[in-house]
Structure 1
Amino acid sequence: MAQILELHGYNQFKDYVSNLDSKSRPVVFYFSGEKLPNGYSWCSDCVEAEPVVKAYLNDLKKEIVFVYVDVGDRETWKDKACPFRTDSRTKLMVIPTIIVWNGVRRLEGSQCGKRELLDMLFEDED
Structure 2
Amino acid sequence: MGKRTQFTINGLNGLSKKLKDNITLNDVKRIVKTNTTELNSAMQRESQSILTGHWEGSKFVKPTGATKRSITIRFTSGGLSGHTGPQTEYSPYLIRGTRFMAKRDFFLPPLRIQKKKFKSDLERLMK
Question: Would you call these one fold, judging by a TM-score over 0.5?
Answer: no
Greater Cα radius of gyration, structure 1 or 2: 2
Q: More relative contact order in 1 or in 2 (CA 8 Å, sep 6+)?
A: 1
Give 1 or 2: higher strand fraction: 1
Give 1 or 2: higher helix fraction: 2
Q: TM-score, normalised by structure 2?
A: 0.25
Q: TM-score, normalised by structure 1?
A: 0.25
